[in-house]
Amino acid sequence: MRLGVLDVGSNTVHLQVVDTHVGARPNPTFNYKEELRLTEYLQSDNTISAQGIGALEATLRRAIVEAKSVHVEELLPFATSALREAANGEEIIKTLNKDLEIDLQVLSGEEEAKLTFLAARRWFGWSSGRLLVIDIGGGSLEIAVGNDEAPEVAVSLPLGAGRLTKNHLVGDPYTEKSVRNLRDHIENQLESILPALVHHQDTDRAIATSKTLRTLARLGGDWFDGNGKTIKIDHIRKICSRLSEMSHSERTRLPGVSGNRARQIVAGAFVTESVMRNLDLRELEICPWALREGVVLKWMDWTEK
């Protein structure tokens, strides 16, 4: 079966097409992505502007055309924090579903964490033991812990790299004061969930997903002779310092760092460092699968019943 996973995130609208069947791994066959940066259309009353709604609808129409062009049999559209938290998000989704004849669903932060955890579990297998899974998106941070396919603890915080950049970082390079404010904000937010993550001390493996974390692993490999498949605590501390001192144009010249990612990678690095330090993690392993794969796996499990 050919499935199209349509991910409406805070930064991008991403269509990932996979061929799969019950019991099989999702095999990616086609990708289509547009940078939309939906959070930049947020107004002072926390509504997405008419311009933002129009841009979103136009982007989705193009993605749907792409899905049809590669003969997608089932489209699985979902939205994350940007639409979830917008004051007019429910109204926007209702209109989009009617006009585009789709079934766009909003995932809660906890659902995001659970689906990402499922993807990591399937990737690493049962022999990987107890997992701690961390995902940094544009709008939120998700952390999940557990022994099974469903985590025992699944939490979400508004610590996405795009959100933090927009709300806290100023200047080019970013000013020392704004970086300090960012770090204080991250620490204060993490304090609220640390008691729920007490089980992390017994985990066998700490896993990282998402583009932000994959990029940080690659930088660690390039700068500190790593393998690009892990993030080490001593490396991420040095990465934070180096990235925060760079200008935007300097960061865009880094390998694998796009213009949009260059704006957000500093915030993503500081979130990573803070999570690893607070949870006493020496290393994170990169998982190629994340939320979109989790959506496919969950849908295939459902169709099997």
Helices (H) and strands (E) in the chain, counts: 11, 11
Q: Is 200's pLDDT higher than 70? A: no
Q: What is the mean pLDDT of residues 75-87?
A: 96
Percent of the chain with pLDDT over 90: 89
**pLDDT score at 260:** 81
Q: Is 199's pLDDT higher than 60? A: no
Nearest-5° Cα angle at 181, 175 to 183 = 105
**Torsion sign across C-alpha atoms 168, 169, 170, 176:** positive
CATH 3.30.420.150 fits 110-286, yes or no: yes
Residue 80 and residue 163: Cα distance in Å, rounded? Answer: 13
Is 116 in contact with 294 (CB distance < 8 Å)?
yes
Residue 59 and residue 9: Cα distance in Å, rounded? Answer: 12
Is 127 in contact with 141 (CB distance < 8 Å)?
no
**pLDDT score at 202:** 82
Q: Is 201's pLDDT higher than 70? A: no
Q: What is the mean pLDDT of residues 196-220?
A: 88
2-106 CATH, one of 3.40.50.300, 3.30.420.40, 3.60.20.10, 3.40.50.720: 3.30.420.40
**pLDDT score at 48:** 97
pLDDT digits (tens, 9 = 90+) for 256-280: 888 888 999 999 999 999 999 999 9
Question: What is the model's pTM?
Answer: 0.95
pLDDT digits (tens, 9 = 90+) for 147-179: 999 999 999 999 999 999 999 999 999 999 999
**pLDDT score at 269:** 98
Please list the residue range(s) of the chain that carry CATH number 3.30.420.40.
2-106
**pLDDT score at 91:** 97
Q: Is 107's pLDDT higher than 80? A: yes
